Chain A
Amino acid sequence: MRKRILIVEDEANIVESLAFLLRRDGFDVSTIPDGARAVGEAERVTPDLMILDVMLPNLSGFDVLRDLRAHDGLNATPVMMLTAKGQTRDREQAEQLGANLFMTKPFSNAEIIAQARRLTGLDP
């Protein structure tokens, strides 16, 4: 059974490269560019990992994460947050809201794949 990843990111070119890399590594990848529709999409896909950008249209990544952690069926979904801001308070907020990992842009492809494998339980 392939592991499923939901990418919530509005930057089309970043989505394109992330999805390419993750699919190539054997993941089943869905994408959604809008924060307000992220939880609904997660209900449909039931991902093994969510890669969640902070700055999203309509609803921020932090709000999506808050909703996700309050959701009975999805609150245990591992979340990797992506942000272009490496500021301490963003990282702290992500940790407080229950993010499993906080990656700052620009990230390396190898690091993303390694962390995706770890968070989905494929690698220790």
Chain B
Amino acid sequence: MARSFAGLRIRERRLALGLSQTALALSAGISPSYLNLIEHNRRPVAGKVLLALARALDVPPSALGEQASLGLVAALREAAADLPVHDPETHLIEEFIGRYPGWARMLSTLDISNREQRSTIEALGDRLTHDPVLQSDMHEMLTTITAIRSTASILATVDDIDVPQRLRFTRAIHDESQRLSEVAGALTEYFDRTAAADRPPATPEEEVARILEGANYAFPELEPGSGALDQTVDRLISKGTAARTELRKWLTRWTADAAAIPQPALKTLLRTPLDLTAAARTLGVSVAQLMRRLAFRHSDAPLGLIEINGAGQILLRRPLPDWPISRQMAACPLLPVFDALWQPGLTAAVLVQMPGGQTTLAICTAEIKPATQMGERGRPSATMLIVPDANRRLFTLPDLPTVAAGPGCRICTRRSCSARIAEPVIAR
């Protein structure tokens, strides 16, 4: 049973209200000497006396009572046991709760959340080690790589192999590489599927990203003259969540873009190859706004988009199957969207070449949002429209320079890249 610490709270509250012991005792209908004993934890306080003191101190009885805090004492004991390295003063737990109930609750909440996260990490680690699908696919992959490596090494180092044997080795490499492609594809698909199905969204941003993807980034009911923003937000997400605020912000901006470039105007624009700069000027909108309108709409052949701020943080994104854009991803600094930040006002198209050799058209622009008051600096942002080959016909394009970039240092195979800031995981 926890030692009484209600007295401490009563004392703290009385002093905060600037009351003397005599004044409080009088208004609670007890003697000052009895109140003195209670405040020094020499007498338990409960029942009518507790109710009277709570009324006099203008707080709910639970804020003074002991029952509400017993769970907290146990929780803090657990927290202390979790991190004994700091040698917490466990004999003072009750006094700590009595004096600082808010801090005590916060510490307990942090400890619970810490334990939950630890168990999630352990479960994920366990899964990576024991998941039968992963185990089987990894086994198959390593077996295939072994066959390819061993056979290729023979072909590269042994000169006197007769023709039938050489043919058998060549066929083996062909067969095994095909098998490797299949197992690699199966693994990727497995990760995609389990990532989408099992894991709840980790952050509000991720939750919003899933909602937007589910809606195909299109909200016909928010086209000019249609429904209300509130109804759409209510339909898509429950109240009182951080993701709701994020989603509302996103949809407000989408609605503004839709009002600036209504659907009929967009359709007319897309009938002929588009010069983004000229079209934006004609419509009286910014190039970035037109890019957003082009990317965030329903389309069987969608365009991807990244918008970053001056610090390089990703503000908006529409990923494509071949261009996954993770908010957490350390983006490749060679992407042209970062170059665009240095040249606000310029809209330029380039071909981005990935380490595997494949190229994708990227059109970038940057703008500076004006300051709202004297002395404040404008805020730069850059937008990159990612155009898959099937959509190139949408745009009129000059001769395109090619720039090399990658998927982010951790998974990039350009070993000698001067922009590298982290070792690739795949090298290990």
Contact = CB atoms under 8 A, between A and B. Distances in A.
A5 to B, nearest CB: 15
Interface hub of B143, B157, B158, B165 (most chain A Cβ within 10 A): B143
A18 B153 CA distance: 11
A106 B148 CA distance: 9
A75 B221 CA distance: 78
Contacts of A11: 143, 146-147
Interface residues of A, number: 18
Interface string B144-176: 011101110110011000000100110010011
B146 A84 contact: yes
Contacts of A109: 150, 153-154, 157
B154 A21 contact: yes
Contacts of A16: 151, 168-169, 172
Given A14-B147, A17-B172, A105 B142 contact: yes
Contacts of B150: 14, 17-18, 21, 106-107, 109
Interface band, chain B: 20 to 34
A97 interface: no
Contacts of B143: 11, 14, 84, 105
A122 to B, nearest CB: 20
Contacts of B135: 85
A105 B141 CA distance: 10
B3 interface: no
A24 B158 contact: yes
B154 A105 contact: no
A14 B142 CA distance: 11
B154 A20 contact: yes
Given A24-B158, A105-B145, A107-B146, A13 B139 contact: no
Query: What 5 pairs between A and B have smallest CB-CB spacing?
Result: A84-B142, A105-B146, A13-B147, A106-B146, A17-B150
Interface of A: 11, 13-14, 16-18, 20-21, 24, 55, 84-85, 87, 105-109
12 contacts: A11-B143, A13-B175, A16-B172, A17-B172, A84-B143, A85-B139, A105-B142, A105-B143, A105-B145, A106-B142, A106-B145, A109-B157
